[in-house]
Chain A
Amino acid sequence: MISVENISKNYIGFSNLFERVCSVLSLGLFKGTSKYLALNKLNFNAETGQIIGVIGRNGAGKSTLLRLLSGVSKVDSGKISISGVIRPMLELGVGFNPELTGIENVRFNGLLWGYSSNEIQNLEKEIFQFAGLAGLENQILKNYSTGMTMRLGFSLATANRPDILLIDEALAVGDASFQVKCLDRFKKFIEQGSIIIVVSHDLQMMSAICQKIMLLEKGNLEYFGNPTLALRKYFEILGKSEEYNNFFENMLLYYNVKLFDELNNNRNIFFLNQTVKLEIKFKFKTEIPRLTVGFQIDDNRGIRVFGINSYILDKELYNVKSNWEYSIVFSFPLNFREGKYSMGISFHKGDSHIEGCYLWKDSILDFEIERIELPKFDGLVYLPTTCEWKNQE
């Protein structure tokens, strides 16, 4: 179990060389004047059998949190209580030396991951097998490709089950088949009672595997809980990000979003493969030189299944007048797996909201898709498929 109570972390740095010298000469009594609050009064609990995702923009405090949990850094205030063996996987292949052989690297680095010498001896064969490197144990590491080194690092780090596994951007490595093996290993750990805390920018994977997601923004905990809601809030933050744009939301007077079927009935339940029309009406307070309107559809796990905008469709609108009502209609077939979906819209300049955003709203309209008279299928999307047999003597 992990219990984090009110932890804060300030990074104190030096603004010039003189401060560094002073710190060294004063035996660290002078700590520098430049301060950066990386985490601010963070609280959360994690129970066994959970994968917890940590998302947020660069500098949000994600890696700091993992460093504090792993004991690499110390908290300035607050308390972290952890029960069980903790294994930080903050960088794959860390400590590997390219001049040593694969097996030497495994032996030398195994203890750093918390294995005993006996454990490493017993696991050696399995580590290389899992990494798909059986037979290459005695090759010098510099002859391995980057992918092979990463796979070996992953295999070593996860060769046996830790109580708590901390992963920083190393959720799944290698090719698709190896990624499946990685995820299967994580699932097995979770079933056996581990806690996995993952930091990643791969939002689709995060929402697919995490039971809870923690959203950090500038060191503050913005949200902790349902993955779908966490991702929505994250997209809102991204949309409003000062890094990307100035957010001009107050320029919009109003907007209205409706979904219609082929017969122009406004509904929120549709059939799989049915063509729908999305109508977005809006009015601006001020004149806009260029306008792109887009929409995005997320499934119930928060995975983005589709998104497009008028710019991509070559329908950018120029010279939008103030107080004029405009509407745009998108038509598309709902070729997604049956289930619940939510739709969001965006008003921005150019190709994406990065160029300047007037509005970004996720989940402003929910709808459902049902499958009738269509064959059962696997996956996220439905592709109308036919098949025929051919015989030859």
Chain B
Amino acid sequence: MDQLLTPLYLDSYKKLKNLKSKLGILTILVKRDYAMQYAGAALGSLWFLIQGVLIFFLYIYISDGLSVFRGYSSTKNVEFILSGVLFWIPIQEMINKSTTVLTENRAIIKRSGVGMNIFYLIPISQMMIHFSILSIPAIIYLILINNISIFSLLIFPWILLSSLFLYPFTRYISMANVLLKDISPIVRLFLQFGFWSLPILYHPPIQYQSILIYHPLLPFLEIFRSVLLSNYIPDINYYILIIYTFISICFYFITRLSFDKIVPDHL
């Protein structure tokens, strides 16, 4: 029995050690990416915080003003926009970053033997950091107006799950951008479409809701809002969520089988 258990134990230990080392490399790659982005800037990485928070509040301020003009209650509207923007900004940054993550690091990938897979996780890690920072003022505001759900901390695993749902696509656009430089502008265009097609800044008109239900990110946004806000009832078609999740998983395996084999040779 001992003879059987020892190698298994050793194998698990080796895997854990390997995972720890991979996490270490990922941490350093993320740090390095920030350091490179803000090298030479007097405020350094603080810029990322300032930029994020300013954009966040700018969206809320303008949209809230417009919505009040259209007759919605200001407080209810701020909660709605705040939760939508809090969901969207990090996701948008993650998709944008994914587009260039391989091309920006091509020298390291080609020369160091670190491998490509770890680079796909940089945008997700950065997204989680951005999200954590942005969520602090949002949560404080919701506590102040007494409209925060008791499950609000579940937004962290939920946003991670949302990013994992998108992972096969972000991975695909990272690789596709190696082969075709058109991917970057196309993705930016799609992000604009994604932003305006989701009910982030506005309450969708009734005639639009029957189409909106097929938006792949809508279930994620709706669940996010319901987890964060105390009295928000999500409008979700769970069948659609299951179908999209299945498509996402299939997409992942197809790209792994085919794209993974050809892209490294084109880096």
| Residue positions of A touching B, CB distance < 8 A | 11-14, 20-21, 23-24, 26-29, 31-32, 67, 70-74, 86-88, 90-91, 94-95, 97, 99-100, 104, 107-113, 116-117
Which residue of A has the minimal Cβ distance to B107? A94
Instruction: Kindly provide the distance from the CB of A58 to the nearest chain B CB, expressed in whole angstroms.
Output: 18
Contact between chains at B113 and A111 (CB < 8 Å): no
Which residue of A has the minimal Cβ distance to B35? A100
Contact between chains at B262 and A28 (CB < 8 Å): yes
Contact between chains at B111 and A90 (CB < 8 Å): yes
Residues of B within 8 A of A24 (CB): 176, 179-180, 183
Whether B140 is near chain A, meaning CB under 8 Å from some CB there, is no
Interface residues of B in 3-56 (CB under 8 A from A): 21, 24-25, 28-29, 31-32, 35-36, 39-40
Whether B266 is near chain A, meaning CB under 8 Å from some CB there, is yes
Whether B192 is near chain A, meaning CB under 8 Å from some CB there, is no
Contact between chains at A72 and B262 (CB < 8 Å): no
Complexed CA–CA distance, A364 and B255 (Å):
57
Interface residues of B in 91-137 (CB under 8 A from A): 107-115
Residues of B within 8 A of A12 (CB): 262, 265
From B24, B35, B258, B266, give the contact of A27 (CB < 8 A): B258
Question: What would be 6 A-B contacts, judged by CB atoms less than 8 Å apart?
Answer: A14-B179, A28-B263, A29-B258, A31-B262, A90-B113, A99-B39
Centre residue among A23, A97, A107 by max chain B CB count within 10 A: A23
Centre residue among B32, B40, B115, B175 by max chain A CB count within 10 A: B32
From A11, A29, A71, give the contact of B113 (CB < 8 A): A71
Which residue of B has the minimal Cβ distance to A76? B261
Centre residue among A23, A24, A107, A108 by max chain B CB count within 10 A: A24
Contact between chains at B111 and A72 (CB < 8 Å): yes
Residues of B within 8 A of A20 (CB): 179-180
From A27, A73, A91, A107, give the contact of B264 (CB < 8 A): A73
Whether B61 is near chain A, meaning CB under 8 Å from some CB there, is no
Whether B224 is near chain A, meaning CB under 8 Å from some CB there, is no
Complexed CA–CA distance, A11 and B31 (Å):
34
Contact between chains at B28 and A111 (CB < 8 Å): yes
Which residue of B has the minimal Cβ distance to A104? B35
Residues of B within 8 A of A117 (CB): 24
Complexed CA–CA distance, A122 and B29 (Å):
20
Residues of B within 8 A of A74 (CB): 261, 264
Complexed CA–CA distance, A88 and B265 (Å):
17
Residues of B within 8 A of A23 (CB): 179, 262
Contact between chains at B172 and A95 (CB < 8 Å): no
Residues of B within 8 A of A113 (CB): 112
Residues of B within 8 A of A116 (CB): 21, 24
Residues of B within 8 A of A26 (CB): 258
Contact between chains at B261 and A90 (CB < 8 Å): no
Whether B58 is near chain A, meaning CB under 8 Å from some CB there, is no
Complexed CA–CA distance, A95 and B25 (Å):
13
Whether B153 is near chain A, meaning CB under 8 Å from some CB there, is no
Interface residues of B in 150-186 (CB under 8 A from A): 172, 175-176, 179-180, 183
Instruction: Kindly provide the distance from the CB of A116 to the nearest chain B CB, expressed in whole angstroms.
Output: 7
Contact between chains at B24 and A111 (CB < 8 Å): yes
Complexed CA–CA distance, A97 and B107 (Å):
12
Contact between chains at B39 and A100 (CB < 8 Å): yes
Complexed CA–CA distance, A58 and B42 (Å):
46
Complexed CA–CA distance, A87 and B172 (Å):
29
Contact between chains at A88 and B111 (CB < 8 Å): yes
Instruction: Kindly provide the distance from the CB of B32 to the nearest chain A CB, expressed in whole angstroms.
Output: 4
Complexed CA–CA distance, A112 and B112 (Å):
7
Which residue of B has the minimal Cβ distance to A117? B24
Whether B68 is near chain A, meaning CB under 8 Å from some CB there, is no
From B21, B35, B259, give the contact of A28 (CB < 8 A): B259
Whether B143 is near chain A, meaning CB under 8 Å from some CB there, is no
Contact between chains at B110 and A72 (CB < 8 Å): yes
From A27, A31, A108, give the contact of B255 (CB < 8 A): A27
Instruction: Kindly provide the distance from the CB of B252 to the nearest chain A CB, expressed in whole angstroms.
Output: 10
From A14, A28, A86, A91, give the contact of B107 (CB < 8 A): A91
Complexed CA–CA distance, A109 and B39 (Å):
16
Complexed CA–CA distance, A24 and B262 (Å):
11
Residues of B within 8 A of A107 (CB): 28
Whether B66 is near chain A, meaning CB under 8 Å from some CB there, is no
Instruction: Kindly provide the distance from the CB of B28 to the nearest chain A CB, expressed in whole angstroms.
Output: 4
Instruction: Kindly provide the distance from the CB of A291 to the nearest chain B CB, expressed in whole angstroms.
Output: 46
Contact between chains at A72 and B264 (CB < 8 Å): yes
Complexed CA–CA distance, A32 and B180 (Å):
13
Which residue of A has the minimal Cβ distance to B21? A116
Which residue of B has the minimal Cβ distance to A71? B113
Report if A28-B258 is in contact (Cβ < 8 Å); known contacts: A72-B109, A88-B111, A116-B24: yes
Instruction: Kindly provide the distance from the CB of A184 to the nearest chain B CB, expressed in whole angstroms.
Output: 25
Instruction: Kindly provide the distance from the CB of A87 to the nearest chain B CB, expressed in whole angstroms.
Output: 8
From B111, B259, B260, give the contact of A91 (CB < 8 A): B111
Contact between chains at B39 and A97 (CB < 8 Å): yes
Complexed CA–CA distance, A71 and B114 (Å):
8
Instruction: Kindly provide the distance from the CB of A82 to the nearest chain B CB, expressed in whole angstroms.
Output: 11
From A94, A99, A104, give the contact of B111 (CB < 8 A): A94
Instruction: Kindly provide the distance from the CB of A107 to the nearest chain B CB, expressed in whole angstroms.
Output: 8
Contact between chains at A32 and B262 (CB < 8 Å): yes
Instruction: Kindly provide the distance from the CB of A159 to the nearest chain B CB, expressed in whole angstroms.
Output: 15
Contact between chains at A88 and B25 (CB < 8 Å): no
Which residue of A has the minimal Cβ distance to B108? A95
Whether B254 is near chain A, meaning CB under 8 Å from some CB there, is yes
Report if A28-B255 is in contact (Cβ < 8 Å); known contacts: A70-B113, A112-B114: yes
Residues of B within 8 A of A104 (CB): 35
Contact between chains at B115 and A88 (CB < 8 Å): no
Complexed CA–CA distance, A67 and B110 (Å):
8
Complexed CA–CA distance, A38 and B261 (Å):
16
Residues of A within 8 A of B255 (CB): 27-28
Contact between chains at B266 and A13 (CB < 8 Å): yes
Which residue of A has the minimal Cβ distance to B40? A99
Contact between chains at B36 and A88 (CB < 8 Å): no
Instruction: Kindly provide the distance from the CB of B136 to the nearest chain A CB, expressed in whole angstroms.
Output: 27
